[in-house]
Structure 1
Amino acid sequence: MTTVTGVEGEERNDFNKVESRQIRDRSLRLLGSLLRPLKARVTLTIVVVVISTAAQVAGPALIAYGIDTGLPRMIKQDWLPLGLAVAGYLAAGIAGAILISWYTVLTARISQAILIDLRKRVFLHTQRLSLEFHESYTSGRIIARQTSDLDSIRELLDSGINQLVQGGLYMLFIAGALFSIDFWSGVVLFGSLVPLAFLLRWFQKRSQRAFRETRTASARLIVHFVETMTGIRAVKAFRKEGRNAVQFAALTEDYREANLKTIRLFGILDPGLVLIGNVALGVVLLVGGLRVAEGGLAIGVLLAALLYTRSFFAPAQDMAMFYNSYQSAAAALEKISGVLEEQPSVPDPIKPVDLWEANGELAFRGVEFAYTPERVILPRFDLEIPAGQTIALVGSTGAGKSTLAKLISRFYDPSDGSIRLDGVDLRSLHPKDLRRAIVMVTQEAYLFSGSVGDNIALGKPDATNEEIIAAAKAVGAHEFIMALPDGYDSDVNKRGGRVSAGQRQLISFARAFLADPAVLILDEATASLDIPSERLVQEALQTLLADRTAIIIAHRLSTVAIADRVLVMEHGRIVEDGTPRDLISGTGRFAKLHAAWRDSLV
């Protein structure tokens, strides 16, 4: 038993290592693709920062030259060495300042170019991903990718990289300069690197874990906030404010505790860096002072060595802060690269087939659909829907009606078999032709910010005002639109908050009718309408659905009356198929549903 458990543990560790390596490689590939177009700019930036750092480091060496060479020569009335030292010091300072300014601008341009590229990639890619991804990946997590994660990368690019590059080069150049002017002072400085390395390694191990906890706590906080604000109607309806406050307080406390762990680490790191720096400075002063007293070291060189030693430790804290930013950005880049690695479960065809004018004939050939092998939603079936026929899909909740509609819209692909439009497999059909031929109206009736006219025009972006008004009149939406303050130019506000649920549905109807598809799918699309509005829409439907294929999914059996054919579904299977009149007069499932509905009206 122990042996098996040990082997399983080793295999799990090996798997985790491989997975971590794959995630790291994925992030590096993404970073490389972002930097590749900026090679020339990055190269120029490297040259600028190297020269600017060298100019900054030259100062103490020039001071040593001025003291040890310039001052004795000045006593002999030779002002040239001291003048050269002063002029060189001023020139190095001015050059360093100018180059640092240039470097700051260059790095800002590079970071902004990377962020713009990455932000566009995330937005465009998430739009291209299939509905399956968005139904499993919460909106809060998507928002976190575009906000907090990109902010973490921005902080690293804006300041973290500067801290690393400038700090690392500064320390390297200082060490080189110190060794060049006095070898033994360089040895003392080199010895101080041992405790410095231990301190930084200690900080690295603990800060990595602490910062990941901070990132996780932050993500949970954002997700909870976004979901609360998105579902504020449900929060109000079910008086969930109190529970939300308790949950949010707990998440906030977790976030505070995670941040406190990170702050405690810096509470040890910062004093440790100061202590190591002061000890090194004291040793250099002691050793150098004794050598000056013995005549083995010039006073100017000792002063330069002290200045270099003191300056050497200044970037160490910045580099530790870089690691802090790096951990945050690395975790964010891993998550973003994970999203960008996602592939659409419904890919566009490699060689699309054009279908400029669709008639609307649908054929299901051996279709089967399952979200997972263990969860079969639609067992294998065949179905023919002639062009121009209006089909009503009825059945209990969970029978598979909406899944069937999603397959027709190609939000999902069948697990087996094929769905054909006018003889063309939907998987081979050009995406533009597919979206033009098949339009789905859902119960949600989502409206985007903008005017009523803009929302209707989504069905046909180049539509004229006359066409927009005609579509609204066709579904009975014209009167209430004209009653709005600015008519068709009225702003619907966020998610259509200015109009009622039924009015939003009518606008979505007008949008779909304006698109004039060959196949129109109405998935519970009349559920938000009151009885007068539903009757008005049904009158419009009889006219507008006359020359197109329509699939109507409805629990209200009054909507079924306009259908040419009714399909009754149970557990993913079509159990009844016939005209409304024939099925009502029978003794099957639909007849019972219709009788129950009629009794409810009475």
Structure 2
Amino acid sequence: MTTVQTPVDEANTATSWRGRAEADDAERTTAEATDAASIKQLRGRSQALLRSLLRPHKRQIIGIVILLLIMNAANLAGPYLVMLGISNGIPALTDGNDYSVLTAVGIAFGLVTIAEYAATRSEIALSGRVSQSLLLELRRRVFNHFNKLSVSFHERFTSGRVVARMTSDMDAIRELSDNGVHDLVLAALSVVSIAGIMLFMDVELALVALVTFPIMGLLGNWFRKYSTVVYRRTRETIALVIVYFVESMSGVRAVQSYRREPRNQRIFDRLNDDNRDANINGHRAAATFAASTKGIGNLSIAIVLMYGGYLVMEGRTDVGVLVAFLLYLRRFYEPMQELTMFYNTLQSATAALEKLSGVLDEKPEVASPAKPVALPQANGVIEFDDVMFSYRDDKVVLPDMNLTIPAGQTIAIVGATGAGKTTMAKLVSRFYDPVSGVVSLDGVNLKDLSEADLSRAIAMVTQENYMFDGTIGENIAFGKPSAGQEEIEAAAKAIGAHDFIAALPDGYDTDVRKRGGRLSAGQRQLVAFARAFLADPRVLILDEATSSLDIPSERLVQHALRTILADRTAIIIAHRLSTVEIADRVLVLDAGRIVEDGPPAVLISGSGRYAKLHEQWEDSLV
């Protein structure tokens, strides 16, 4: 019986997915931080990040500020020169046919125009360089930090959120750094400078002109508070859209296999609607602020025009002063319009910076040692000493593990799903640290080894056999980038992959395409084996590494495995007992405990769990 999901169910699914995505967000952004202390902490964290990014560019920032001051002065000189032309130049011309004042004003206009052009051109170029340097450093930090964070972080932090951090959040910061700061500084300078100039020219008329300013203050305060909430919501919703898109496309084969395209489309539409509604609310707030600002500005101009006209008629001020006031007022309220757009950009960038600072504030659960113990040449002795491990507090995976694996020994770990086999492999690879106890290599706690020594000594091949975009040769050399072509081919020959690689159109230069899509599952596995062989670790872990191979390919790789595992410590985790047979020793796990331990031939001849597993496996072959 097929269950049909109704629109209500899909709405609930979208809401549930949205809630999980928000709850799993490792940064705990302002969507969850509603109290003043949390918001203060978020802002402090993002401001600290911004200061660290700006610190190397102090000189350039000072230069930008000087250029902005020149631009502001040149921009505000125009109305004052108009006033001089009307008040002094025209009377001189009409009374004595004296062109000198108007000529001087014209020359001054030309010089001001040249200065403004030069300052604007230099400021835009310098700001662009600083902006791109800042973004370059921020991307580098985020990428580097994502790489350093533990496997546990990446298991809960979806790939869609990683993409959102590096795309939409970076774009929001880029938009602010490219245009927003420039507009903000110029707007602030214009408002302050114009107010000062008007007070200098005529105090009475200036007070009349600024009578509407308190109304602007109240309006700006409302817009600031309201838009803070609205524009953070736009960042959250667009992040959810990106996350769901990436997750859906990553699992597109499953989606199409189960014919779930319409359902996924409807869930995506609901998330997209949320983003649209959030943006509409933001535009509505901006429209209210912009229209109100324009209306208040026009009202102020009307008041100044009427009252200024009265003062001119009374002889208490000059026509040139009135004209300059009207021009300044226009320039006084124009920056308010720019501030509207800037505040939109600022809110988006602030929310994005908070998310990025949250990622950068994440501490690796598997941290590098402050003073690593040197281990330039490992022998390969692995020890578990009273190791207890759990992924969650309420479920212990390994309750009390004690185990010694001598150097050069190949052990196979078997057991039911969930017995703790892969967990042991992850602990040896130091993807996780034990809750208590010690996992050591040659007597050195893995926590005390540097990343370089650990990665050189231990390598892991999993059933995922991930292939990166590029050639087959580049994928084999991934574990040893300095390897030459001869070394790459020697590794492939040793593992039995050379023949199929040589038969490809471009041999080792064949592009594997996205995630190795050009290769079969078995071929990808052989390339992964060649990669591990070339890296030449002292300890090699094979976690279900032959699960993708068919019977002929598996037989082909058995001899290669013996070559790979010779003279090195190896841990094999497999359900296929044909792979286990090459081990020197077999461990049978049950609920995180070793219930059998011995050579495979000895265990097969007994009546224990491994003997039964082997018997069941032989029956399955028949």
Q: TM-score range by the shorter chain?
A: over 0.9
**Mapping 1:195-594, distance limit 5 Å:** 195-594=215-614
Cα offsets for 1:466-494 (capped at 9, x unmatched):
22112112222111111211011101111
Work out the CA distance in 1 between the residues paired with 2:41 and 2:494: 56
Secondary structure of the structure 2 residue equivalent to 1:295: coil
Work out the CA distance in 2 between the residues paired with 1:67 and 1:274: 28
Cα offsets for 1:9-50 (capped at 9, x unmatched):
xxxx99932222111111111111111111111011111111
Residue 15 and residue 61 in structure 1: after superposition, are their counterparts in 2 closer, same or farther (change >3 A)? Answer: closer
Tell me, yes or no, if structure 1 residue 55 matches structure 2 residue 74: yes
Tell me the amino acid that sits aligned with residue 58 of structure 2. K
Aligned to 1:30: 49
Tell me the amino acid that sits aligned with residue 152 of structure 2. E
Asked if the contact 2:33/2:39 (under 8 Å) is kept, the reply is no
Tell me the amino acid that sits aligned with residue 91 of structure 1. L
Aligned to 2:35: 16
Aligned to 1:40: 59
Tell me the amino acid that sits aligned with residue 49 of structure 2. L
Q: CA deviation at 1:340?
A: 0.8
Cα offsets for 1:561-592 (capped at 9, x unmatched):
11111111111111111111222222222222
Secondary structure of the structure 2 residue equivalent to 1:78: coil
Work out the CA distance in 1 between the residues paired with 2:603 and 2:464: 30
Secondary structure of the structure 1 residue equivalent to 2:548: coil
Q: CA deviation at 1:63?
A: 0.8
Tell me the amino acid that sits aligned with residue 394 of structure 1. V
Work out the CA distance in 1 between the residues paired with 2:325 and 2:486: 83
Residue 15 and residue 290 in structure 1: after superposition, are their counterparts in 2 closer, same or farther (change >3 A)? Answer: closer
Aligned to 1:192: 212
Work out the CA distance in 2 between the residues paired with 1:19 and 1:589: 54
Asked if the contact 1:442/1:523 (under 8 Å) is kept, the reply is yes
Aligned to 2:156: 136
Aligned to 1:8: none
Work out the CA distance in 1 between the residues paired with 2:587 and 2:319: 99
Count of residues in correspondence between the two structures: 590
| TM superposition score normalised by structure 2 | 0.93
Q: CA deviation at 1:529?
A: 0.4
Cα offsets for 1:192-211 (capped at 9, x unmatched):
11221222222222222221
Deviates further, 574-583 or 75-84? 75-84
Cα offsets for 1:440-476 (capped at 9, x unmatched):
0001001111110111011222222222112112222
Asked if the contact 2:83/2:320 (under 8 Å) is kept, the reply is yes
Asked if the contact 1:456/1:510 (under 8 Å) is kept, the reply is yes
Secondary structure of the structure 2 residue equivalent to 1:417: strand
Secondary structure of the structure 2 residue equivalent to 1:562: coil
Aligned to 1:5: none
Cα offsets for 1:103-129 (capped at 9, x unmatched):
111211111111111111111111111
Aligned to 1:119: 139
Residue 449 and residue 246 in structure 1: after superposition, are their counterparts in 2 closer, same or farther (change >3 A)? Answer: same
Secondary structure of the structure 2 residue equivalent to 1:427: helix
Work out the CA distance in 1 between the residues paired with 2:364 and 2:256: 36
Work out the CA distance in 2 between the residues paired with 1:79 and 1:460: 81
Q: Residue 89 of structure 2: which of 70, 79, 102 is its match?
A: 70
Asked if the contact 1:52/1:99 (under 8 Å) is kept, the reply is yes
Secondary structure of the structure 2 residue equivalent to 1:313: helix
Work out the CA distance in 2 between the residues paired with 1:231 and 1:493: 17
Cα offsets for 1:519-546 (capped at 9, x unmatched):
1100000000000101111121123212
Deviates further, 17-26 or 28-37? 17-26
| TM superposition score normalised by structure 1 | 0.96
Work out the CA distance in 2 between the residues paired with 1:124 and 1:37: 19
Aligned to 2:27: none
Residue 310 and residue 14 in structure 1: after superposition, are their counterparts in 2 closer, same or farther (change >3 A)? Answer: closer
Asked if the contact 1:182/1:305 (under 8 Å) is kept, the reply is no
Asked if the contact 1:63/1:89 (under 8 Å) is kept, the reply is no
Work out the CA distance in 1 between the residues paired with 2:253 and 2:493: 31
Tell me the amino acid that sits aligned with residue 70 of structure 1. G
Deviates further, 61-70 or 197-206? 197-206
Aligned to 2:22: none
Cα offsets for 1:33-73 (capped at 9, x unmatched):
11111111101111111121011101111111111111111
Secondary structure of the structure 1 residue equivalent to 2:387: strand
Tell me the amino acid that sits aligned with residue 74 of structure 1. L
Tell me, yes or no, if structure 1 residue 79 matches structure 2 residue 99: yes
Secondary structure of the structure 2 residue equivalent to 1:574: strand
Work out the CA distance in 1 between the residues paired with 2:340 and 2:33: 30
Work out the CA distance in 1 between the residues paired with 2:588 and 2:265: 45
Asked if the contact 1:160/1:322 (under 8 Å) is kept, the reply is yes
Work out the CA distance in 2 between the residues paired with 1:206 and 1:21: 18
Deviates further, 99-108 or 146-155? 99-108
The answer for unaligned runs of 5 or more in structure 1 is: 1-12
Tell me the amino acid that sits aligned with residue 17 of structure 1. A
The answer for unaligned runs of 5 or more in structure 2 is: 1-31
Aligned to 1:9: none
Deviates further, 396-405 or 475-484? 475-484
Asked if the contact 1:200/1:320 (under 8 Å) is kept, the reply is no
Asked if the contact 1:364/1:381 (under 8 Å) is kept, the reply is yes
Work out the CA distance in 1 between the residues paired with 2:270 and 2:433: 42
Work out the CA distance in 1 between the residues paired with 2:138 and 2:239: 19
Deviates further, 279-288 or 172-181? 172-181
Secondary structure of the structure 2 residue equivalent to 1:440: strand
Work out the CA distance in 2 between the residues paired with 1:26 and 1:259: 26
Work out the CA distance in 1 between the residues paired with 2:406 and 2:370: 28
Percent sequence identity is 54
Work out the CA distance in 1 between the residues paired with 2:576 and 2:464: 17
Secondary structure of the structure 1 residue equivalent to 2:167: helix
Aligned to 2:127: 107
Deviates further, 270-279 or 371-380? 371-380
Cα offsets for 1:312-340 (capped at 9, x unmatched):
11110111111111111011101111111
Asked if the contact 2:401/2:592 (under 8 Å) is kept, the reply is no
